[in-house]
Structure formats: structure tokens, C-alpha cells
């Protein structure tokens, strides 16, 4: 299942409702964050992997994401917010809701990629390329488009972007399955213990 902003928005709003967080502007806030996050992650991130595979050959990769923990992502957002002097019960509930929506949505994303010089096998990868300032700019633009404003809005968005990008790149693991054909004798197949792979999230 691809990363879909409407699905992420629904998860954010469901978590917020479970924490008794509401407000006429909240659906717009959730929409701005989910739309920007999905667009940014899919357009900017890359995945590099190391694989144990048979080769020589050529193959494709698929994979799933594991290891994301909403409470850990929330803690990163809170730490960033506190560094800017932002506190408050509703702000912390917002961070928790966003983290739940992002982490849950990311668990449905798949890797599409290629493995270089090898065929069938397995491996692990990391997500790279996410920059908090880039996501922050996109969320802020989506917020302005939806007429969302407030005294601390930029700092809150900055904390959200920091938590999302930092947690995904430092914690997420992509479990890769390599599909393809290795050469037959006499060239192969031989085990390649560190075949590189490259792909994107969809």
C-alpha cells in the first residue's frame, strides 16, 4: 500500500480524538501535516541496502519498513519544542497524534529498487535524504494554504519536521527481499556477502 495522505490524516485525527483533542482547525492541521509529510518522504527519500545474495546477476528489490516507534518520535518533537520554549498539554497531544499517524502509515510503505551485481537474496537498508528544514518548509506552505496561523506555529512545525525526519533516518530499518537470477556455472552462482542495493519508497 502506498503512502497516502488521506490515510495518514485519518490516523492522526483518530489518535487526537482518543486523547480528547478537538477543534474546528484540527482537521486542517492534520491535513497540512499529512499532505506535506507524504509528498516529502516519497519525493526526497532514498534507500540504500546491503544484501547477502547469489551472483553474479541482476535483480530487483522489494521491502518493508520496521522499527518506527511513535513514542520515540514524539520525544524528539518534544525535545525540539522545549528547546524553543514551547510547552503545553495540547501541543504534546498534537505531537503524539502526528507521530502515531506517520509511524503507522510508514509501516505500509514498500521499497522498490535494484540490487547491483547479484540476484536472489535478502538484506537490510536505511532510509536517507530527509532534511528537517525541507519538510518544515513544505508543512508551513500547506498550513498557509489552509489559512492556519498562530504565534508559535513555525516553531511547532519545526519540531514536527525534526521528529519525523530524525526518527525515520535513525531508527527505521528496511527489510529487503531480492528477486532475480544469478548466473549458472562456471561463472556462478556464488554468494556475494555485501551486494549493494538502491531504491525508493512507494
- Residue 112 and residue 90: Cα distance in Å, rounded? 38
| pLDDT value at residue 23 | 78
Cα dist. 68→106, 109, 153, 167, 171 in Å?
8, 12, 26, 7, 6
The pTM (predicted TM-score) of the whole model is 0.95
- By the 10 Å C-beta count (0-12 exposed, 13-18 middle, 19+ buried), 193 is classed as exposed
pLDDT in tens, 4-22: 999 999 999 999 999 988 7
| Residue 33 pLDDT > 70 | yes
Residue range 103-131: mean pLDDT, rounded: 96
Amino acid at each position: 500500500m502506498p503512502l497516502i495522505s488521506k490515510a495518514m490524516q485519518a490516523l492522526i485525527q483518530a489518535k487526537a480524538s482518543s486523547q480528547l483533542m478537538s477543534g474546528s482547525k484540527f482537521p486542517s492541521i492534520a491535513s497540512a501535516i499529512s499532505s506535506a509529510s507524504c509528498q516529502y518522504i516519497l519525493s526526497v527519500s532514498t534507500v540504500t541496502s546491503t544484501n547477502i545474495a547469489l551472483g553474479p546477476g541482476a535483480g530487483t528489490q522489494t521491502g518493508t519498513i520496521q522499527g518506527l516507534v511513535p513514542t520515540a518520535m514524539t520525544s524528539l518533537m518534544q525535545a525540539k519544542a522545549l528547546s524553543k520554549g514551547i510547552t503545553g498539554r495540547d501541543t504534546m497531544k498534537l505531537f503524539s497524534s502526528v507521530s502515531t499517524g506517520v509511524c503507522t502509515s510508514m509501516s505500509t510503505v514498500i521499497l522498490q529498487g535494484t540490487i547491483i551485481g547479484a540476484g536472489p537474496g535478502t538484506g537490510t537498508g536505511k532510509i536517507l535524504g530527509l532534511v528537517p528544514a525541507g519538510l518544515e518548509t513544505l508543512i508551513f506552505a500547506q498550513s498557509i494554504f489552509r489559512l492556519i496561523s498562530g504565534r508559535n506555529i513555525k516553531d511547532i512545525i519545526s519540531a514536527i519536521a525534526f521528529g519525523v525526519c530524525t526518527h525515520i533516518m535513525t531508527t527505521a530499518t528496511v527489510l529487503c527481499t531480492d528477486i532475480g537470477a544469478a548466473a549458472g556455472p562456471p561463472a556462478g552462482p556464488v554468494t556475494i556477502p555485501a551486494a549493494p542495493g538502491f531504491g525508493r519508497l512507494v
